[in-house]
Every structure is written in structure tokens, then in C-alpha cells.
């Protein structure tokens, strides 16, 4: 059933795409504000990227080159599954190279390679409401956004400081957009937060189950919440990549045996492979990159 003849271009029917497109445009016009949209039931489960998939489907043109990553990697199973979905339903070209992609759908990371004008980064968002774990009711959090009442969030962060001496949020770290809306950047590590603001690409966020779309236009201010005496600091493992020697990329810790040995490798697989191809070799890297292991 899933071929291009049975379904419309990019799967969704035109009326659904128009509805999503209108929501995206309002999201772009009100940076950081969560626009309700009538999320459709997609052929993959809620929680597995249906929001991102709908946003991508509404944005794709036949000429696009699509990259899909999960945890920074192109070859994780869910990324593979979503990439295949669009190969089948939209017939678009796909790529693993960040710089070559025109649309990138991501779960949990922002690529290391800086994005450029003309690119769109689509985030899969599980819980779009930054205040949700402080106040479970939508009726209440909507009022808080309306009144710009973010006191609860500051209280939470401040309680962290008094208990732990620092803000104990490592990912899904909230930002304030253009001094107005507090926004959930999706569960990216806070290491990625500085890339949210001032980015040359269009950043779109899709939450399917929760029926929300929001956006950061290019060059939009997005400031990680903090306090003057406890400023925000992006953090990562205090290592370089063992494969490509990158000192400044976000690292995954990989356990290599049951004796406690471990290594650190770039979570962004394209970034790491490109560096190795360019001759940057870490202590455990091999000159030839990308050999497959089943």
C-alpha cells in the first residue's frame, strides 16, 4: 500500500497539509508560541515522531534532500523508518550529510555542523509545554503563557540551586524566546541550547500527540533560563571523541566490555565520519570510516 500511487505526495491529503501549513505560518509569526493543530493519526505511533513527520510532510517539495536523525545518528532504527517513509511517499532524495540536506528531521539533537539559510530543521517533540511537569493542566498553563507568568519555572530552577548548588536540568532545558514565550526545545541536551538562538535555519517543532506546532524563525533570540549568579552553562562529557578527536562535539559514552572500559564518540554520526574522512583520527579511530558491523 505504501507507494506513491496509493497515497498523495508526502502522504497527507491536501486539506490536512493546508491546515498544518497555516499552523506553521502562525508559529513562525509568533516565535515560541504553541499553535494548536488538528494532528492526524499517522501510520507510526504517537511518541515516535508523528508531529515531526506531519510538519516535514507539510514542508517537503519534490526537490528536497531529506536527512533524518535520532540521537544525532542517521542509522538508528526510528530514523531509518521515518526516512524510508518519505522516500516512499514523497520520492525525495535523502542524505546523511548535514550540509547537503535541505530539510532535517531530528529527535533529541541539533547537528554539530552549523546550519545555513535555506535549511529547515524539524524537531520531534514529545511534550511541547515547558510548564507541563510543574502544572499538568492545559487550562492553567495556557493562562500562564497568556499572562507571561513564569514564576513557577523560576521557583523550580531556584529550588534546584538551593538543593544541588546548580540547575539540575541536563536536557529539555527551557528557553525564553524574544523575551516573551518560554519554550520547550524538545529533549535536546542543554549542550545544544546555544544553537537554538540566532540560527540561520528555520526551526520548526511538531508535537503530534499533544497537537501543537511552534517555531523559531532564523536569527531569533532564544535564551536559556538562568539566574545572574548561576548563569546557564552548556555541558558535555569532559573528553574528546575517541574516533575523530573532536574536542567540542556532544559525546555518547559507549561501554566496550564488562570490565568498566568505555569510550566516548560523537553522537552526530555524520559529523564524526566527515572528520575522520578529512584525516582527523582519535585514539581508537581507524583511518577508514564507516565499516559496517551487524
Judged by the rule CB under 5 A, the positions of this chain that interact with Zn ion are: 241, 243-244, 246, 266, 272
Does residue 266 have an active-site annotation? yes
Pick what 241 binds: Zn ion, another protein, none; C-beta below 5 to 8 Å, kind-dependent: Zn ion
Q: Report the run of H or E that residue 17 belongs to, with start and end.
A: helix 14-29
Pick what 244 binds: Zn ion, another protein, none; C-beta below 5 to 8 Å, kind-dependent: Zn ion
Looking at the Cβ atoms of 58 and 243, the one nearer to Zn ion is 243
Residues ≥6 apart with Cβ < 8 Å to 253? 237, 262, 263, 264
The answer to whether the beta carbons of residues 197 and 205 sit under 8 Å apart is: no
Catalytic residue among 51, 52, 72, 272: 272
Pick what 4 binds: Zn ion, another protein, none; C-beta below 5 to 8 Å, kind-dependent: none
Under the binding rule (CB under 8 A), the answer on residue 154 touching another protein is: no
Q: Choose the stretch contacting another protein; rule: CB under 8 A; options: 33-41, 93-101, 150-158, 224-232.
A: 33-41
Q: What mask, x for binding another protein by CB under 8 A, covers residues 243 to 272? A: x------xxxxx-x------x-x-x-x--x
Does residue 59 have an active-site annotation? no
Burial class (CB in 10 A: 0-12, 13-18, 19+), 249: buried
Under the binding rule (CB under 8 A), the answer on residue 114 touching another protein is: no
Ranges within 115-144 binding another protein (CB under 8 A): 117, 120, 126, 137-139, 142-143
In the complex, minimum distance from the CB of residue 69 to Zn ion, in angstroms, rounded to a whole number: 15
Does residue 32 have an active-site annotation? yes
Q: State the Cα–Cα distance between residues 74 and 268, nearest whole angstrom.
A: 8
The answer to whether the beta carbons of residues 94 and 67 sit under 8 Å apart is: yes
- Closest by alpha carbon to 174, among 159, 197, 190, 163? 190
DSSP count for the chain of H helices, then E strands: 6, 12
Q: Report the run of H or E that residue 215 belongs to, with start and end.
A: strand 212-216
The answer to whether the beta carbons of residues 165 and 208 sit under 8 Å apart is: no
Pick what 72 binds: another protein, Zn ion, none; C-beta below 5 to 8 Å, kind-dependent: another protein
Does residue 72 have an active-site annotation? no
Q: Which residues pair with 251 in a beta bridge?
A: 266
Task: List the one residue from 154, 219, 227, 277 that touches another protein (CB under 8 A).
Answer: 219
Provide the annotated active-site residues. 32, 241, 244, 266, 272
Amino acid at each position: 500500500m505504501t507507494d506513491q500511487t496509493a497515497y498523495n505526495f508526502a502522504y497527507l491529503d491536501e486539506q490536512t497539509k493546508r491546515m498544518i501549513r497555516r499552523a506553521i505560518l502562525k508559529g513562525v509569526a509568533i516565535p515560541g508560541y504553541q499553535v494548536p493543530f488538528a494532528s492526524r493519526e499517522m501510520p507510526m505511533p504517537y511518541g515516535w515522531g508523528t508531529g515531526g513527520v506531519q510538519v516535514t510532510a507539510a514542508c517537503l517539495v519534490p526537490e528536497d534532500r531529506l536527512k533524518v536523525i535520532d540521537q544525532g545518528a542517521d542509522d538508528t532504527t526510528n530514523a531509518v523508518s521515518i526516512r524510508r517513509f518519505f522516500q516512499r511517499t514523497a520520492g525525495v532524495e535523502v542524505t546523511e550529510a548535514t550540509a547537503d540536506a535541505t530539510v532535517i528531521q531530528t529527535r533529541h539533537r541539533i547537528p554539530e555542523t552549523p546550519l545555513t539559510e535555506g535549511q529547515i530543521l524539524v524537531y520531534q517533540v514529545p511534550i511541547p509545554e515547558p510548564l507541563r511537569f510543574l502544572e499538568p493542566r492545559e487550562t492553567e498553563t495556557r493562562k500562564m503563557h497568556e499572562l507571561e507568568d513564569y514564576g513557577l519555572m523560576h521557583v523550580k530552577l531556584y529550588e534546584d540551586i538551593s538543593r544541588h548548588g546548580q540547575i539540575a536540568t541536563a536536557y529539555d532545558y527551557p528557553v525564553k524566546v524574544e523575551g516573551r514565550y518560554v519554550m520547550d526545545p524538545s529533549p535536546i541536551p542543554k549542550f545544544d541550547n546555544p544553537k537554538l538562538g540566532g540560527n540561520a535555519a528555520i526551526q520548526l517543532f511538531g508535537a503530534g500527540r499533544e497537537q501543537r506546532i511552534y517555531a523559531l524563525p532564523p536569527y531569533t533570540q532564544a535564551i536559556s533560563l538562568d539566574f545572574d549568579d548561576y548563569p546557564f552553562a552548556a555541558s558535555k562529557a569532559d573528553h574528546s571523541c575517541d574516533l575523530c578527536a573532536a574536542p567540542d562535539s556532544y559525546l555518547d559514552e559507549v561501554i566496550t566490555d564488562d570490565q568498566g572500559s568505555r569510550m566516548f564518540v560523537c553522537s552526530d554520526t555524520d559529523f564524526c565520519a566527515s572528520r575522520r574522512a578529512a584525516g582527523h583520527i582519535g585514539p581508537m579511530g581507524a583511518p577508514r570510516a564507516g565499516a559496517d558491523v551487524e
